[in-house]
């Protein structure tokens, strides 16, 4: 699950560095981003798609405080090492899943599930358990902490 090697142009580097925060809340936010970069909206959308297609960016979208819009939970699976990649792909196929990552622990695959309501969240966890034969550990948030995950990238 290593980082892919991809040559990025100046616009793509700027997209990754300069627009991690403050995406305009308007019908065409990428048009405003494009104007700031001196390119077209189609170029911005195409470059973001290329970054996603190549695994540089996993998603482009808003981050909401947990349980403000729907419900969420942190979940983990204890996956046999030989199955880790296949199980991670199955888990990532759910649109409700984000932040899917490997940890060095008996519970070695961790992910966040966000759904419209607790019923759908439970359904996703149940389906993942059924499909993998592994019991998801459900760790709902008890206390809210904000960690800003935006950071400047080093271009070497």
User: Contact, 85 vs 1, CB < 8 A?
Assistant: yes
> Is 147's pLDDT higher than 80?
no
Q: Are residues 75 and 109 in the same domain?
A: yes
CATH number at residue 133: 3.30.70.3460
Q: Which residues pair with 137 in a beta bridge?
A: 76
Token pair 């470059």 in the structure block, residue: 47
Q: Tokens at residue 132, please?
A: 């993998």
Estimate the crossing angle of helix 118-132 against helix 84-92, to 10 degrees.
150
Token pair 């966040």 in the structure block, residue: 112
Instruction: Please count the structural domains in the chain.
Output: 2
Q: Which domain, by its residues, includes 125?
A: 71-139
Give SS3 for 25.
Answer: coil
pLDDT digits (tens, 9 = 90+) for 31-85: 999 999 999 999 999 999 988 888 888 777 766 666 666 888 999 999 999 999 9
Look up the pTM and report it: 0.59
């Amino acid at each position: 699950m290593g980082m892919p090697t991809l040559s990025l142009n100046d616009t793509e580097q700027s997209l990754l560095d300069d627009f991690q925060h403050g995406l305009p809340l308007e019908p065409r936010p990428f048009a405003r981003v494009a104007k700031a970069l001196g390119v077209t909206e189609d170029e911005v959308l195409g470059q973001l798609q290329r970054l996603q297609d190549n695994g540089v960016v996993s998603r482009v979208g808003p981050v909401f405080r947990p349980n403000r819009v729907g419900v969420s939970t942190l979940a983990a699976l204890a996956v046999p090492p030989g199955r880790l990649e296949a199980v991670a792909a199955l888990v990532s196929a759910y649109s409700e899943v984000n932040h899917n990552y490997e940890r060095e622990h008996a519970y070695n695959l961790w992910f966040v599930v966000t759904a419209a309501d607790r019923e759908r969240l439970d359904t996703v966890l149940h389906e993942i358990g059924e499909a993998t034969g592994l019991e998801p550990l459900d760790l709902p948030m008890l206390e809210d902490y904000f960690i800003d995950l935006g950071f400047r990238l080093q271009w070497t």
